[in-house]
Homo-oligomer: A and B are copies of this chain.
């Protein structure tokens, strides 16, 4: 009976002006998903470590996603799934997406790849639907595909990568406070002013062209969010102070990762990254808030066998 172990990376989604349409995966942080074939046709979560999550196969995002894959392929096979969470849910780093992505990638390998990586995104999205009520792709797509990933359209699903400078570094700052994705969605306005919209798609033109032409200044100028940041930053303690500090220390840009509370800075320089990490972390430490912070390249590969 085959078995396989997959690493599926955590992700920064939205990336400033890309609310709901843009994300990139990190290096070194993600879920390890071990999948082995069963003799029967059951899907069984054997164990989950690193977070308190449902092992009921109708509720766990990984089994929901795998079930979507099996239904689409018409295959009647069973699998045991063990998940080592890199980071618990509620970080803003696409934790649930990692498990869905790892599980469907693993099962696809064990079935001799009936689907491309891009096709697997749609199955992993079903995991997201089961956890948040909406089949978002802005975490699952970058976690699966690697690199800066655009979800241009959901219906039909149109997902693709854009080239980016390999020197780019993300400094990730995760203060240990709780922000639920559902609440962070709820406080977003249902309507935005046309003026804010114009700014947002102007910045998107700047960010994409900046990434594709290695123009760090333009990436930085474009890393702005007229839509989610103004309301969501109120859920993140010391956000403005952290942002100002990061920019003072040379970050080209700073914004919220997903629905927070994690934020991230971008830079192309390793020393600058260290200095941002240290300065932003100390803001939380001196205020008695535990903080997890690290520096990562943009993961170009996405989900892969380990």
Contact = CB atoms under 8 A, between A and B. Distances in A.
- Interface size classification for chain A: 35 or more
A190 to B, nearest CB: 6
A19 interface: yes
Interface in A178-197: 188-194, 197
Given A160-B209, A209-B208, A209-B212, A222 B192 contact: no
A14 to B, nearest CB: 11
Q: Is the interface of A mostly helix, strand, loop or mixed?
A: mixed
Contact of A191 (B194, B201, B204): B194
A197 B153 contact: no
Contact of A202 (B152, B193, B198, B209): B152
A206 B19 contact: no
A203 interface: yes
A18 interface: yes
Contacts of A204: 201, 204-205, 208
Given A160-B206, A190-B193, 6 more contacts: A20-B202, A152-B222, A162-B205, A200-B200, A200-B201, A204-B205
